[in-house]
Structure 1
Amino acid sequence: MKSDRRTFLNSSLALAMGLAAGCGNDAAVSSSPIANTRHGPVEGRLEEGVYAFKGVRYGADTGGRGRFMPPRPSQPWTDPAPALEYGPACPQSRPASGREMPEGESEDCLHLNVWTRGLRDGKKRPVMVWLHGGGLWRLSAAGAWQAGRNLSARGDVVMVSPNHRISVLGFSHFGDINPDYEGSSHAGMLDLILALKWVQENIEEFGGDPDNVTIFGQSGGGQKVSLLMAMPAAKGLFHKAVIQSGPMPLTLERAYANDLASRFLARLDNPGADADALAQAPLSDVMKAYYETFDEIGGFGVMGIVQDVAPVVDGDILPQQPFWNSAPDVSKDIPLIIGSTRTEMTEYNLMEDPDAAGMDFSGAATRLRSIFGDDAEKILARYRENHPDASAWEVYALIRSDWPTRLFSLHIADRKLEQGGAPVFVYRTDWETQDRDGLLMAPHAIDIQFVLDTADATEPLGLQAAERKIMTEYMSGAWLSFARNGAPKAPGGPDWPQYSLPSRPTFIFDLECRIENDPDGDDIAILRENASRYRLVAGGINQD
């Protein structure tokens, strides 16, 4: 299951890989631009009218004594530092026996990327900070499929994308074993807070407005947005937020987190989390111990998608589980866009069960019993009644998407609305890809290319190119207008109303955008009625 889950993450994001396309040029002409950050100058390049600075250091090396500790700012430098290539990803690979960690991964990973159409021009452009997906344990901000050049060119915004610690290095709870490591389960999120502080201190140099920062992310990136919305240390560092297919971030029960930490430390022969020993342990040994620990316990997660790591609610750095019982007060004034795709889980369903697309309704019921128990037939019957022309595979895909992604996206929207603060806007992406003979429909991650205007960076190249262009106009346009003034507006689409009850107005992104009130609400209702009875999590997930 663990290797399948990792394959799912990679294959979901394979919908968005390749080479990004170009846009117009109204930037200055220097092909080797220099930007002066608070820590030192950096040299970027001009990419078809947009200044690109890749791999800009925002924090010190997290290896050695920095391992599992809060991030530290960079030491200053004087000579221009090259900012031409993406910085290294946080270590995440399983080292082969007797081999070093692979190239491209390093604990010296606190780097970010900036794209802008102007330097030091005082234009106060909106700033959009993209948080990469991959849960809390995979991937980085690199890659043409999530590059910021096109979005910066299209909307004249400053696009920023940070790397940060993930996996065992970013979310391990050692604080109850050694108080020196208090906060270690939040190290990855503290990295992002440091990156947002860097934005506040430096973004004017890149033509951006530090008082107009939008954070947005898909999947695990959306979970990170939710976590930042609950962290007091992040208050004032951003002003708008977007959660794409990343509802309800998981946090660990403290006792369970301590058990995981003890098992991990035992494999390093360091049961007391001695700081010197942890700092000096070879990185390959750390990663090997991490993977062996989760091989042993089987991990934890939602709906069989095993998640290796998660922070702990400690009452200080993270005072509450974001949005579970209530929306965090610390982000009451933050406008929010939240939504999902119509069939989030299709690629994962086919990966775990290659014959799933050929299932009949009896097979669908069998598969659903592992989640809904004796309610499986009742739920399946409701969906069949509401979608009489859908095949068993299509009905199953809708159920697996609504539970839990759609349902809990709406849960966050409801909590945000109950709070009575800044508005929330809800969407659903219904456009369907014809890739894999149309079996994927509207899968997880399909929207990244449209929001970031990187459709030309996806495979298969040219498939439904005209339709992808239309979807890009809609989605990137809506995100850009939200970043600019807090009011999402898809060019050529209907006005997007604020979310409200009982109507639950939802913006449907398709070739012809529309507003639907509580779309497929009768489907969601049967899940919402008995949600507490269904198997959501395994392991030690905190549900308080």
Structure 2
Amino acid sequence: MTKLDRRDAIKALAAPLLLGPLAGTLKAATPGTGDTVTARTRSGLVIGRSTGSAIAFKGIPYGGPTGGANRFMPPTPPVPWREPLHALHDGPASPQSNPDRPRPGAGPESEDCLTLNVWTPALRDGRKRPVMVWLHGGGLWRLSAAGAYQDGTNLAAHGDVVMVSPNHRLGVLGFAWLQDKDSRFTGSASAGMLDLVQALQWVRDHAEEFGGDPDNVTILGQSGGGQKVSLLMAMPAAHGLFHKAIIQSGPAPLALEPAYASKLSGRLLDLLGIDKASTADIQKVPLESIMRAYYRIFDEIGGFGVMGVIQDFAPVVDGVTLPQHPFWNGASPLSRHIPLMIGSTRTEMTEYFLDAHPAAPQRSAEQVVHDLVPIFGDDAAGIVMHYRAAHPGAGLWEVDALIRSDWPTRLFTRRIADAQARLGGAPVFTYRMDWATGARGGLLMSPHAIDIAFALDTVGADPVEPGELDAQNRMQRQMGGAWLAFARTGNPQHRGIPAWPAYDRARPTMLFNLESKFALAPDGADLDLLEAGLPRYRVVAGGVGEAK
């Protein structure tokens, strides 16, 4: 991954962390190695590759074409194939490139992107292993399931689980609200999420073939993947298709309201020269024209804005596909009995902010306040003053990093945990990942996405800062062990970490570090201050409606 790619990935809300020279090697399948293995799917035979420790199948279709007459429509079943399908390579990503600013080295993209990857220790052996369905990051508009940093080989081999990771429609193709213009497009604003529902149906139908248990499925994701987990927990179509959920640094208590979504799609039609009476003509428009219009709108709304505050094309609270905001006005009763694990890293935004503003660590207090005014308005100075007093050992750079981590990621994380716990059903477990890397002169601390490798057992898949491999492996054993325990039992407790009680009004939280520890409401006063100011801050584009 080039430096440019890395920065793009950070802006997309999720990516592996590039720290320094390579200090480890992921044990993953590579083309031309290993023995081929054949599995049966309802659409035909698929040929995967065994590495000796796990079997990998890549690019298995779980849905039909999504272009042309199927554009903006719910997914269709995959087209069956007669000859065995060689499932040896990642499927194409959903279209996401700007035609006017192509990225060097970008992977293949296609509207026909409904494929998934599977890693398993064995086929058809009746072991009924936990199934972990990893939803890739990148907000709701970028990236894919490809990449060594989210390869499932080690997770399957070391954890004795089945890992599945789907691609699905993103951005304007996955979430354009068109049904107020043409009823034939009902559900179009959740098309990309309905793709994931269909992927979960595929998992239900094929888990036993791939050595898994269809009655023990955990959905998990980091950043944008966590947003997708949040949304699935409130979707009737997904009910019963998963049994546990993990949200990493990607809480999405809110979706979009119809009025705002209608403005986005109206602008899209205007740019494409399509009037409301001819909305269906959008299915005939060249893909490049749609993507060019999308990026024009993206620039007009200010890009992705503040990470975690949804303002781009996204699922809409329509009363049917998504009956309510996932967690804003209370958690959905659909997920009352779903155990939830949710958390974040301590300084989420350091790498993104440092790349965008290399001189940021040298700012004065006045400059830090100035940079926070667009988020907090007149409250910015008081917030900085509070954090400096609450964290007397932290310099200005760290204070700013804590504020930008708490708003909105950690605050939204707490809001989801509170809402889910109030349902009084399955337990909730919260965590904060505090281990700090020394990369970039120690300025990154605990940045967004560094914990993906710990959760998925891919430490060494991307370069590791010299001297930190042992520390990262230790973090992997603690966090990865918790993720596996949770997938098996709905409780993350294991012998390698201290006692971790379920969430309640005291807000117990596991603080993962080289020496992990348990704390009660570790960010309480900071988050209380931000919570008090919520009515004055922008939490989602277009405002928030009442519970439906």
What TM-score do the two structures reach when normalised by structure 1?
A: 0.93
Letter in structure 2 aligned against 1:133: G
Measured after TM superposition, the shift of residue 146 of structure 1 is 0.5
* Displacement of 1:454: 0.8
- The answer to whether the 8 Å contact 2:197/2:237 transfers is yes
Which amino acid in structure 1 is aligned with residue 416 of structure 2?
A: I
Task: Give, as a single letter, the amino acid of the residue that structure 1 aligns with 2:235.
Answer: M
Superposed CA deviations along residues 36-63 of structure 1, whole A, max 9, x for unmatched, are: 0111110000124200000011000111
The 5 Å alignment of 1:490-529 reads: 490-501=494-505, 503-529=506-532
Offset, 1:310:
1.0
Cα gap change, 1:300 to 1:130, in 2 (>3 Å): closer
Task: Give per-residue Cα distances to partners, 1:166-213, cap 9 Å, x unaligned.
Answer: 011100011111111111000000000000000000111000000000
1:310 corresponds to which residue? 314
Match for 1:434 among 433, 438, 458? 438
Task: Evaluate the alpha carbon distance shift between residue 461 and residue 39 of structure 1 in structure 2; reply closer, same or farther with a 3 A threshold.
Answer: farther
Match of 2:533 among 514, 530, 535: 530
Counterparts of 1:416-431 in structure 2 under 5 Å? 416-431=420-435
Q: State the alpha-carbon separation in 1 of the partners of residues 28 and 74 from structure 2.
A: 39
- Worse-matched range after superposition: 225-234 or 376-385: 376-385
Check 1:97–1:236 CA distance in 2 against 1; reply closer, same or farther (3 A cut). closer
The count of aligned residue pairs is 535
- Report SS of the residue matched to 1:33: strand
For the residue of structure 1 that corresponds to 2:59, the secondary structure is: strand
Map 1:41-80 to 2 at 5 A.
41-80=45-84
1:10 shift after superposition: 5.9
1:233 and 1:338 mapped to 2: Cα distance? Answer: 22
Distance in 2 (alpha carbons) for counterparts of 1:490 and 1:10: 33
Instruction: Indicate yes or no: 2:218 matched with 1:223.
Output: no
In the aligned structure 2, how far is the partner of 1:238 from the partner of 1:51? 23
Give the Cα–Cα distance (whole angstroms) in 1 for the partners of residues 69 and 421 of structure 2: 43
Check whether the contact 2:16–2:450 (CA below 8 A) recurs between aligned residues: no
The 8 Å contact of residues 369 and 376 in structure 1, kept in 2 or not, is answered as yes
Match of 1:382 among 386, 393, 401: 386
1:519, CA displacement in angstroms? 0.7
TM-fit CA distance, 1:150? 0.8
Q: SS at 1:112's partner residue? A: strand
Q: What's the secondary structure of 2:367's corresponding residue? A: helix
Give the corresponding residue for 1:167. 171
- Verify: 1:9 aligned to 2:28, yes or no: no
- Per the TM alignment, residue 20 of structure 1 is displaced from its structure 2 partner at its CA by 5.5
Native 8 Å contact 1:338 1:427 kept in 2: yes
Does the CA contact (< 8 Å) of 2:182 and 2:280 recur in 1?
no
- 1:450 alignment partner in structure 2: 454
Q: 2:191 aligns to what?
A: 187
Q: Name the SS of the counterpart of 2:208 in structure 1.
A: helix
SS of 1:34's partner is: strand
The worse-fitting range, judged by mean Cα deviation, of 374-383 and 304-313 is 304-313
Contact 2:39 2:209 in 1 (8 A): yes
Paired amino acid for 1:363: Q
Deviation at 1:11, TM superposition (A): 9.0
Task: Output one character per residue of 1:390-439: Cα deviation in whole Å (capped at 9) or x when no partner.
Answer: 11111111111111111110010000111111110000000011111110
Q: Is the CA contact 2:261–2:313 (under 8 Å) kept in the aligned structure 1?
A: no
Secondary structure of the residue that 2:207 maps to in structure 1? Answer: helix
6 and 253 in structure 1: CA distance in 2 versus 1, 3 angstrom threshold? farther
Q: Give distance in 2, aligned partners of 1:224 and 1:91.
A: 18
Matched, 1:91 2:92: no
State the shift of 1:247 in Å: 1.1
Q: Deviation at 1:334?
A: 0.3
CA displacement 1:315-357 (0-9 Å, x = unmatched): 0000000100100011111000000110111122223322111
Quote the offset at 1:273 in angstroms: 6.6
- Given that residues 174 and 273 in structure 1 are in contact (C-alpha distance below 8 angstroms), is that contact kept between their aligned partners in structure 2? no
Match of 2:127 in 1: 123
Give identity over the alignment, percent: 56
Distance change >3 Å, CA 307–CA 529, structure 1 → 2 = closer
Partner of 1:540: 542
Which residue of 2 is the match for residue 203 of structure 1? 207
After TM superposition, give the deviation of residue 142 of structure 1 in Å.
0.4
1:244 and 2:248 correspond: yes
Indicate how the Cα distance of structure 1 residues 260 and 39 shifts in structure 2: closer, same or farther if over 3 A, else same.
Answer: same
Letter in 2 for 1:21: L
- Aligned mates of 2:396, 2:211 — CA distance in 1: 52
Alignment deviations for residues 278-323 of structure 1 (CA, whole Å, 9 cap, x no partner): 2222111111121123333435654697742111111000000010
| CA distance, structure 2, for counterparts of residue 332 and residue 32 of structure 1 | 42
Q: Displacement of 1:4 after TM fit?
A: 12
Measured after TM superposition, the shift of residue 274 of structure 1 is 3.7
Please report how far the alpha carbon of residue 377 of structure 1 lies from its aligned counterpart in structure 2 after TM superposition. Answer: 2.7
| Equivalent pair of 2:13/2:139 in contact (CA under 8 Å) | no
Measure the CA separation in 2 of the matches of 1:519 and 1:239. 29
- Alignment RMSD: 2.5
Could you tell me whether the CA contact under 8 Å between 1:357 and 1:393 is conserved in 2?
Answer: yes
Deviations 1:438-471 (A, max 9, x none): 1010011111010001111122465500000000
Give the counterpart of 1:270 among 268, 271, 274: 274
For residues 85 and 288 of structure 2, the distance between their equivalents in structure 1, rounded to whole angstroms, comes to 29
Give 1:70 deviation, angstroms: 0.3
After superposition, the Cα gap between the structure-2 partners of 1:529 and 1:260, relative to the gap in structure 1 and judged at 3 Å, is closer
In structure 2, what residue type is equivalent to 1:315? G
CA contact (8 A) 2:12 2:139 kept: no
CA contact (8 A) 2:250 2:308 kept: no
- The aligned residue for residue 338 of structure 2 is 334
Cα deviation, 1:202-234, whole Å, max 9, x if unaligned, reads 111000000000000000100000100000110
Q: 1:300 to 1:257 in 2, by over 3 A?
A: farther
1:397 maps to which residue? 401
Partner Cα distance (2:481, 2:406) in 1: 26
Question: C-alpha distance in 2, partners of 1:30/1:6?
Answer: 33
Give, as a single letter, the amino acid of the residue that structure 2 aligns with 1:478: A
The answer for the alignment partner of 1:468 in structure 2 is 472
Instruction: Output the amino acid matched with 1:507.
Output: M
| 1:214 match | 218
| Cα displacement (A) at 1:276 | 5.6
- Bigger CA drift: 304-313 or 170-179? 304-313
Residue 488 (structure 2) pairs with residue 488 (structure 1): no
Aligned counterpart for 1:351 among listed residues 352, 355, 363: 355
| Compared CA separation, residues 526 and 126, structure 1 to 2 (3 A) | same
Rounded to whole Å, the distance in 1 between the matches of 2:100 and 2:528 is 48
